Amino acid sequence: MLNETYRGMLNHKSVIRETFMYGKQHAAEIGYENVFDYSLGNPSVPCPPQFTLAMQNLLDTEEPVDLHGYCPSQGDPGFRTAVAKHLAKTFALPYQQKHIFPTTGAAGAIAHAIRAVTQPGDEVLTFAPYFPEYGPYVEGTGAHLKVVPPQAPAFQPNLDAFEQMLTEKVTCVLINTPNNPTGVVYSAETLTRLAELLAEKSRAYGHTIFLVSDEPYRDIAFDGKAVPYPAAFYPHTLTCFSFSKSLSLPGERLGYVAVRPGCEGEDILVDMMAQISRFTGHNCPPSIIQRAVSRCLNVTSDLSVYETNMNLLYDKLKALGFEVERPGGTFYIFPKALEEDANAFCMRARQYDLLLVPSDTFGVKGYVRLAYCIDTEKVERSLPALEKLAASYRR
Amino acid sequence: MLNETYRGMLNHKSVIRETFMYGKQHAAEIGYENVFDYSLGNPSVPCPPQFTLAMQNLLDTEEPVDLHGYCPSQGDPGFRTAVAKHLAKTFALPYQQKHIFPTTGAAGAIAHAIRAVTQPGDEVLTFAPYFPEYGPYVEGTGAHLKVVPPQAPAFQPNLDAFEQMLTEKVTCVLINTPNNPTGVVYSAETLTRLAELLAEKSRAYGHTIFLVSDEPYRDIAFDGKAVPYPAAFYPHTLTCFSFSKSLSLPGERLGYVAVRPGCEGEDILVDMMAQISRFTGHNCPPSIIQRAVSRCLNVTSDLSVYETNMNLLYDKLKALGFEVERPGGTFYIFPKALEEDANAFCMRARQYDLLLVPSDTFGVKGYVRLAYCIDTEKVERSLPALEKLAASYRR
């Protein structure tokens, strides 16, 4: 018999995907260049040339049996060592090979990290607004996702509500900075207080509460500011990273879990995640990609276009009177809709060929997400459409 | 708190891996060339040059944003169509794009296929001897693996015992042909009778019993004989394939599930498997590998070395009086040990620098597996060691 759970999910349509599909259809009618599609978070800049060169060099020089052979179940040792060195240098924490578990993107990283530090039935807390895939990632482990309500307009985590919800059932907290969908970077002050609460409650309950930090946008930071690194604030942190955005390689599925040195279980967590892979059919990420990326850890794609686009949109939205927080990173911005119902607002935006995503899908009402990983020229041409949309609410 | 299940697994040592690690250590003492390591099923021949050329060509000519971009959650459409055409031509069944779900190797394929066609608590039957990773693959879905006892010496599935065990709780049957560890190819007669039993019991119980067929060794067939294709015998078949062996790409993690045309749920099973991926952090396999392999579906590595090795070993084992079934494919052979305790036999074999795997790990007692994916020259040099081992039992 077909599995009822997964079969039932086929009827739940993703609003992001529905918007994207509408955009494709609309583009066929009025031309691709005339649809201002802010729906999907797909990198729009190419990978750095170093990655292509590394791939070509590996194919030209390595023995195929070695290059394409099985990895150990903990991943390619060279990649793990290179990542550990890179993190140690960047964040001044003594990461070693044993702390690094390569995964198929951040999705694989989060799924493994949470399975490793929870028992079925445990609660995992996250902060609204949040990436909706956290739902399946967490529920798939047997733990339950509970969402701390949002704190507008700055969208730093709501730590008062968090403290109330941080009961004995909670064994793991999942954060995302820089944040999808808001673009907000969690401040050092936020992370300090968050770490204090985690330490205090861990002591009170007699068990370690782990922090899983999802950071695929870490390298997309604006205004020349560094993004505070959560693992630097709290020792029991599993950092989840993906090269999808930093190196513009989303289709090649490479990421990692980095177990913070000093974390409870630091000597066995990677071995445990290798065991978890056997149960999910996850496997190691591809060998050649691990080896090529290990040569590119000190470079990124040219990510400056995202800051250019952010400034254009932020300035225009502010000028039009939108309530909006200035993003500190990512390629998202999260203004308040001009009417209470974000879905209705997004439907009206379509009349101006603007494709936005209503915030309901991120666990917040009344906002919209714009993913500005598109050409700057198109962002510029979209500004009059934003003007018209705003004007339609002043009539 | 660290997850107790996965933590507990760290104490369960894999006998295959332990044997391999012993071999590495022993090689450091007496020289790699002097250890006859038959423990690991790692391809020993390079990928075909067409794969390397396809990779180089993609890197040279494609726009990186397209080449390395996100796949749809059902996988790369070009790869799916190419696989469907290849299967349709090879097996004269009307496979279409909608039937193909790309996965990270056969492990991902089996994990997805079984999740899709079972509910938690269902029973999945497989036949001893069987690949031990079937345990975690099946248990990870929430279903339970039950093992039909073996049928020596030919090691065709024991269909009388199977019929007894095929109760109403069984919703899925998992088979593996050509078989790891025996090298036996399931005969057309076996598959005909298996299909009859599945159809009969499906009718009796009022639910379809699905067949999941694991076929990573399909292209390694001996004596010029074709391997009977299970999906041709039974419509409700999900075929799991990996390019690890056919193209010698085990580290690049590419495989697929092929839903047989006419299978129950054929229009939705791939969409369901895309949903399943969200819960396990599996994701699509890497984009560039899907695109390169779709250009190599009509070629394989030079797999003839495995047949050469098989003949050398089979002839020697028979000459030495071993009870052994002649393999029809794979790179495994499965002789009966010369004493009741296969573990003791393998320990004695180590005295002659022969590394064999005892059959207990495959759900059968008293046999050993030899993985002869090593250089022919080494197989030849190992034959005197086999002679000495056999002679030691005649003293």
DSSP code per residue over B273-337: HHHHHHHHT--PPPHHHHHHHTT-TT----THHHHHHHHHHHHHHHHTT---PPPSBSSEE-PBP
**Measured distance CA(B77)–CA(B15) in Å, rounded:** 40
Q: Which pLDDT belongs to residue A37?
A: 94
Count of CB contacts below 8 A, A vs B? 230
Please report, in tens digits, the pLDDT of each residue of chain B (395 residues total). 799 988 988 888 788 888 888 988 998 999 989 999 999 888 989 999 999 999 999 999 999 999 999 888 899 999 999 999 999 999 999 999 999 999 999 999 999 999 999 999 999 999 999 999 999 999 999 999 999 999 999 999 999 999 999 999 999 999 999 999 999 999 999 999 999 999 999 999 999 999 999 999 999 999 999 999 999 999 999 999 999 999 999 999 999 999 999 999 999 999 999 999 988 888 789 999 999 999 999 999 999 999 999 999 999 999 999 999 999 999 999 999 999 999 999 999 999 999 999 999 999 999 999 999 999 999 999 999 999 999 999 87
What domains are there in chain A, each with its CATH number?
A: 4-47+302-392 (3.90.1150.10), 50-293 (3.40.640.10)
Residue B352: exposed, middle, or buried by beta-carbon count in 10 A (0-12, 13-18, 19+)?
A: middle
> Considering Cα of A178, then A181, then A184, then A188, what sign does the dihedral take?
negative
| Mean of pLDDT values over A85-110 | 97
> Phi first, then psi: what are they for B211, rounded to 5°?
-110, 125
**Measured distance CA(B36)–CA(B45) in Å, rounded:** 17
Whole-complex ipTM: 0.94
Asked if A251 lies within 8 A of B2 by C-beta distance, the reply is no
Give the closest residue to B95 by CA, choosing from B105, B103, B86.
B86
Q: Above 80 in pLDDT, residue A13?
A: no
DSSP secondary-structure letter at A361?
G
Asked if A103 lies within 8 A of B207 by C-beta distance, the reply is no
Q: Above 80 in pLDDT, residue A99?
A: yes
Asked if A275 lies within 8 A of B6 by C-beta distance, the reply is yes
Asked if B287 lies within 8 A of A45 by C-beta distance, the reply is no
Asked if A56 lies within 8 A of B59 by C-beta distance, the reply is yes
Q: Above 90 in pLDDT, residue A5?
A: no
Enter the tokens of residue A68.
Answer: 């394409």
Q: Which of A60, A64, A140 sits opposite B279 (nearest CB)?
A: A140
Q: Which residues of A touch B8 (CB under 8 A)?
A: none
Enter the tokens of residue A4.
Answer: 């009822």
Q: How far is B30 from chain A (nearest CA, A)?
A: 23
Alpha helices in chain B (DSSP H): 4-9, 15-30, 49-61, 64-67, 77-91, 105-117, 134-139, 159-165, 188-205, 243-246, 269-280, 287-293, 304-319, 342-350, 376-392
Q: Which of A65, A275, A280 sits opposite B111 (nearest CB)?
A: A280
In three-state secondary structure terms, A283 is coil
| Mean of pLDDT values over A166-192 | 98
Taking only the tens place, the pLDDT of each residue in A47-70 is 999 999 999 999 999 999 999 998
Cα distances (Å, whole numbers) of residue A58 to B42, B123, B360: 20, 45, 40
**Measured distance CA(A190)–CA(B244) in Å, rounded:** 47
Identify any residues that bridge with B258 across adjacent strands, giving them in sequence order. B100, B239
Please name the residue that has the structure tokens 């204090």: A196
What percentage of chain A has pLDDT greater than the value 70?
100
Q: How far is B88 from chain A (nearest CA, A)?
A: 24
Cα distances (Å, whole numbers) of residue A281 to A254, A293, B107: 16, 23, 5
Higher pLDDT among residues B20 and A189, named by residue: A189
Give the chain B residue whose CA is nearest to the CA of A171: B1
Q: Which residues of A touch B101 (CB under 8 A)?
A: none
Q: Which of B2, B60, B103 sits opposite A117 (nearest CB)?
A: B2
Q: What is the identity of the amino acid at A78?
A: G
Give the closest residue to B250 by CA, choosing from A67, A235, A292, A94.
A67
Is A181 in contact with A129 (CB distance < 8 Å)? yes
A144 CB neighbour count, 10 Å cutoff: 16
Asked if A286 lies within 8 A of B6 by C-beta distance, the reply is no
Q: Which pLDDT belongs to residue B72?
A: 87
Q: How far is A376 from chain B (nearest CA, A)?
A: 16
Q: Which residues of B touch A111 (CB under 8 A)?
A: 279-281
Q: How far is B120 from chain A (nearest CA, A)?
A: 9
Which residues lie below 8 Å from residue B229, measured CB to CB, with a gap of 6+?
Answer: B91, B218, B239
> Phi first, then psi: what are they for B172, rounded to 5°?
-155, 140
Among A59, A145, A253, pick the best mutation site for testing chain B contact (most B Cβ within 10 A).
A253
Enter the tokens of residue A223.
Answer: 């205004």
Residue A367 CA from chain centroid, whole number: 19
DSSP secondary-structure letter at B133?
T
Give the chain B residue whose CA is nearest to the CA of A249: B68
Beta strands B123-127; B144-148: pairing state: parallel
B278 CB neighbour count, 10 Å cutoff: 20
Asked if A137 lies within 8 A of B43 by C-beta distance, the reply is no
Taking only the tens place, the pLDDT of each residue in B30-58 is 998 999 999 988 898 999 999 999 999 99
Q: How far is A103 from chain B (nearest CA, A)?
A: 9
